[in-house]
Amino acid sequence: MLDRGLRIVGALGLAAAAVALGAAAPQKPAAKPLPGRSVTNGNWNTVVRRTADDTYILGNPDAKVRLTEFISYTCPHCAHFETEADAPLRLAFVANGKGSIEVRSFVRDPIDMTVALLTHCGPPEKFFLNHTAFLRSQAKWIAPLKDASAAQKARWSSGSFAARTRAIADDFHFYPIMATRGYTAQQVDKCLTDEALANRLAKATEDAAQRLFVRGTPSFAIDGVVLSGTSDWASLRPQLAARVD
């Protein structure tokens, strides 16, 4: 549940002040040039941009439709959505330039936060492959949670920020996952110390909950409007098709 997830984030020392409920609804950002990026064979899946809000956008910045995904890495439904929807979205929505995908982290717990830091590790063009790697392998890496000892769990919520995130990364074998993505242990450790980013992601989660009324994951928005009652590919697909066609 949402309230529980936000309390766990607070235990990490990451929760930020709540954003005022009366804040203006987000607007689709104006297109910006993408220096050094070009479209290969008309496929917009080669274009990735990191926004000032620590989200990542895949595809044509001038796309007719912007899909926003609110994702938690410890959410099994998010992993299922990734497996089911990634290929059709890339092939029929992003590749032709008609649609773009924005991924926003909606942090539920300390493990989720640690994974979020690792997906952000490195240049923007690595994000979506990092994102996919963790969601597609979620069932495997999250398995140690059910057998975790009290001492392990204590390490996840006590000590310095870096000590906590590194303990989680060690216990859930995130270092080998990142190694398959080309990262050294030193690079991983550096990303796990980014407490400023963690604070921003926690604040963005609070903001999405209070201002946009996001209540669970996965949740979706089209052109800034959160879709009520939409939490899977079966319910999202016809809504996207109606706007793109």
Residue 2 corresponds to which tokens in the numbers above?
A: 């949402």
As a whole number of angstroms, the distance between CA 243 and CA 245 comes to 6
Residue 49 corresponds to which tokens in the numbers above?
A: 């941009």
As a whole number of angstroms, the distance between CA 51 and CA 102 comes to 9
Contacts by residues 230-236 (CB-CB < 8 Å, ≥ 24 positions apart): 231/77, 232/77, 232/80, 232/81, 232/84, 233/81, 233/84, 233/85, 233/88, 236/67, 236/85
The span from the first CA to the last CA of the chain, in angstroms, equals 35
Which residues lie below 8 Å from residue 119, measured CB to CB, with a gap of 6+?
73, 105, 127, 130, 131, 134
- Give residue limits of the domains in the chain: 2-13+45-244
As a whole number of angstroms, the distance between CA 85 and CA 165 comes to 30
CATH for the stretch 2-13+45-244 = 1.10.40.110
Render pLDDT for 86-143 as a digit per residue (tens, 0 to 9): 999 999 999 999 999 999 999 999 999 999 999 999 999 999 999 999 999 999 999 9
Describe the strand order of the beta sheet including 65-71 as a list of residue ranges: 48-50, 56-59, 99-105, 65-71, 219-222, 225-226
Q: How would you write the pLDDT of the chain (245 residues) with one tens digit per residue?
A: 333 333 334 434 433 322 222 233 334 343 343 333 445 456 899 999 999 999 999 999 899 999 999 999 999 999 999 999 999 999 999 999 999 999 999 999 999 999 999 999 999 999 999 999 999 999 999 999 999 999 999 999 999 999 999 999 999 999 999 999 999 999 999 999 999 999 999 999 999 999 999 999 999 999 999 999 999 999 999 999 999 87
* Nearest Cα residue to 240 out of 5, 118, 84, 68: 68
Its pTM stands at 0.84
Report angle CA 38, 65, 95 to the nearest 5 degrees.
Answer: 40
* Nearest Cα residue to 115 out of 141, 147, 77, 94: 141
Distances (CA, A) of 171 to 88, 146, 167, 182, 197: 34, 12, 6, 20, 22
Which residues lie below 8 Å from residue 59, measured CB to CB, with a gap of 6+?
44, 45, 47, 93, 94, 97, 99, 100, 101
Report angle CA 54, 135, 62 to the nearest 5 degrees.
Answer: 45
